[in-house]
Amino acid sequence: MPTALIVEDEPEANKLLGMLIRLRGYNSAPAHDGREALAQLGRFSPDVVFLDLMLPDMSGFEVCRAVKAARQTCLVPVVVVSARIAARSRVDSFRAGADEFVAKPYTPDQIFGALARARTLRSQAEQDRIAGTARFGDPEEGSTARDLAKLRDLVLGRSPIPEAEAVALGEVIRDAEVGVEDWLRRNPGGPPASLDYELTRDGLAMTFHGLGWLDHLGRTPDDPLVASFARFDEAAVDRDADRLILVKRWA
Reported as a single tens digit per residue, the pLDDT across 122-138 is 999 999 999 999 998 87
Position 139 scores a pLDDT of: 66
Bridge partners of residue 208, in order along the sequence: 195, 244
Instruction: Note the pTM of the prediction, 2 decimals.
Output: 0.90
DSSP string across the chain: --EEEEE-SSHHHHHHHHHHHHTTT-EEEEESSHHHHHHHHHH---SEEEE-SB-SSSBHHHHHHHHHHSTTTTTS-EEEEES--SHHHHHHHHHTT-SEEEESS--HHHHHHHHHHHHHHHHHHTSS-EEEEEEET-SSTTHHHHHHHHHHHHHHHH--S-HHHHHHHHHHHHHHHHHHHHHHHHSTT---EEEEEEE-SSEEEEEEES-GGGGGTTT-TT-HHHHHGGGSSEEEEETTTTEEEEEEE--
Position 218 scores a pLDDT of: 52
Residue pair 228/171 in contact (Cβ under 8 Å)? The answer is yes
Residue pair 34/62 in contact (Cβ under 8 Å)? The answer is yes
| Amino acid of residue 100 | E
Average pLDDT in the chain: 91
pLDDT at 194 over 90: yes
d(CA 109, CA 148): 27
Q: What φ, ψ does residue 236 adopt, rounded to 5°? A: -130, 130
The rounded percent of the chain whose pLDDT value lies above 70 is 94
d(CA 110, CA 82): 13
Report, as an integer, the average pLDDT of 188-207. Answer: 91
Report, as an integer, the average pLDDT of 45-66. Answer: 95
Position 224 scores a pLDDT of: 78
**Confidence class of residue 118 from pLDDT cuts 50, 70 and 90?**
very high
pLDDT at 217 over 60: no
Position 73 scores a pLDDT of: 95
Higher pLDDT, 70 or 251: 70
Report, as an integer, the average pLDDT of 151-163. Answer: 96
Nearest CA to 73 out of 105, 32, 37 is that of 37
Cα 77 vs. chain centroid, distance in angstroms? 9
Domains of the chain: 3-125 (3.40.50.2300), 130-249 (3.30.565)
pLDDT at 140 over 80: no
- What is the number of alpha carbons within 13 Å of residue 153 lying toward its C-beta? 30
Q: What φ, ψ does residue 155 adopt, rounded to 5°? A: -60, -45
Per residue in 67-112, pLDDT (tens digit) is 999 999 999 999 999 886 666 788 899 999 999 999 989 999 999 9
pLDDT at 189 over 90: no
